[in-house]
């Protein structure tokens, strides 16, 4: 996809959100309406949509060095019966 099309979709999403976050908001709105319609104890605050929207922690990506990745690939190669000849130039 060309970058100008991608930028267009990003701009459109700012105006008219779509995707999973928007679906969670819609589900939260419905859930809060149902929960509030079921009645609350006296003095209990009304439920809000955000009370029903899951909050996910950002995924932490562990950075690996090229050498560490290379070592893992050598192990996978050996497990699959492959052979390895190191042709890297060591400085």
C-alpha distance from residue 1 to each of 7, 18, 51, 53 (Å)? 10, 19, 37, 32
Whole-angstrom distance, CA of residue 67 vs CA of residue 77: 15
Q: Is there a contact between 24 and 50 (Cβ–Cβ < 8 Å)?
A: no
The pLDDT of residue 86 is above 90: no
State the pLDDT at residue 90: 67
Which pLDDT tens digit goes with each residue over 12-70?
Answer: 988 887 888 889 999 999 999 999 999 888 899 999 999 999 988 888 888 889 989 99
SS3 64: coil
Q: What is the pTM of this model?
A: 0.48
State the pLDDT at residue 5: 93
State the pLDDT at residue 27: 96
State the pLDDT at residue 91: 62
């Amino acid at each position: 996809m060309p970058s100008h099309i991608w930028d267009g979709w990003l701009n459109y999403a700012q105006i008219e959100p779509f995707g999973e976050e928007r679906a969670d908001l819609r589900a939260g709105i419905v859930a809060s309406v149902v929960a509030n319609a079921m009645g609350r104890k006296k003095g209990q605050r009304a439920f809000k949509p955000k009370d029903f929207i899951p909050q996910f922690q950002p995924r932490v990506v562990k950075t690996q060095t090229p050498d560490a990745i290379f070592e893992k690939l050598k192990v996978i190669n050996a497990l699959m019966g492959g052979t390895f000849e190191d042709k890297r130039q060591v400085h």
